Every structure is written in C-alpha cells, then in structure tokens.
Structure 1
C-alpha cells in the first residue's frame, strides 16, 4: 500500500472551498485508489493549534502502479493545472506501508 499525502498553502484562503471541489473531482479516478480524503484547516484555528497549510489530501493506493496511473490521469493533470495558480506552497509525501 502507498500513502500519498499532499498539503497546500493557498494564495487566497477564501479559495479553499473551490480548491477542495477541484480536488474532490479526482476521487475514484483509477482502480486501486483505496482512500481519498480532502480536508481543510479550521478557521479560525482553536487556541493552541497552528497550521501552515490550508488544504490537505490523504490518499491511499494499493500499489505504486495505481498511484502512477492516478498521477498520469488526464483529469488529475487538468485539475493540477487549475490548482497551480491558486497555491502558494505544496508539500508531498509518499510512503509504503
């Protein structure tokens, strides 16, 4: 299993809802996608919590091939092109478990 985590900072946090909608359009794109969870930080943050990103994607794939198929999928690529101008930062972590 491969866990694929991506976190984004947005240029304009008011775009969080649109950003999430675009990400959600990638749910179920390929066989082997086991989990696909999109979250956004609470606004305002509760006391004592901090956040450096506005949106996170936690997804799980049953193989590296499934993750690669997701990354190469035309819908994923089109969504990525729309998200790019909206983001100020992006961090990615993939790991096997």
Structure 2
C-alpha cells in the first residue's frame, strides 16, 4: 500500500478570491477525484480549522493499493484538470509518498 500526503499553503488572494474561498473550492475539486481510478483505498481532504494547529491550509491524505494505482490517479485527466487552479492559488506545497 502507498500513502500519499500533500499539504498546500494558499495565497491570501488569487484567482479573484480570498484564501478561505479558494481553500473550499480546492477541497471540492480534490474530492471530485476521490474515486477516479481503481485502487484508491482512502481519500480525505481537510482544511485548517480555527483553534487547531495548522501551518498549511489544505491537506490531502490518501491511500492507494499500489504504486501503479497512485500513478494512474496522478495521470488521470480529471486530476490533471484541477492542477492549474491549484498551481494558481498555492503559495507552497509539501508532499510525501511512502509504502507500508
């Protein structure tokens, strides 16, 4: 199994919207990818919440049955279609994939 975790810090203002609006839209776009290929075992998108520690605004936690399933997800047209928006609103990105 492969775990795929990505965190994004968002710009204060981008694409005509503020950080909170873009975070919510980004969450919706990411969640639309939750079942796009076989082998996605878990797919969770969360936003930073007031009162809880967070140094990033959006986090994706996902699990894939194999490296091939993760690659199929990464290459899928729906996933590719949301990348320009994410690139436009993000200020920083951190990612880690690991096998368990």
TM-score by length of 1: 0.91
* Partner Cα separation in structure 2 for residue 9 and residue 66 of structure 1: 26
Gaps of 5+ in 2: 13-18
Q: How far apart are 1:83 and its partner, in Å?
A: 1.1
What residue is the counterpart of 1:29 in the other structure?
36
Structure 1 runs of 4+ off > 6 angstroms?
A: none
Q: Deviations over 1:24-71 (max 9, x none)?
A: 11110100000000001112xx2xx53210000000000000000000
TM-score by length of 2: 0.88
Pairwise CA RMSD: 1.0
Q: How far apart are 1:82 and its partner, in Å?
A: 1.6
How many residues are paired up? 93
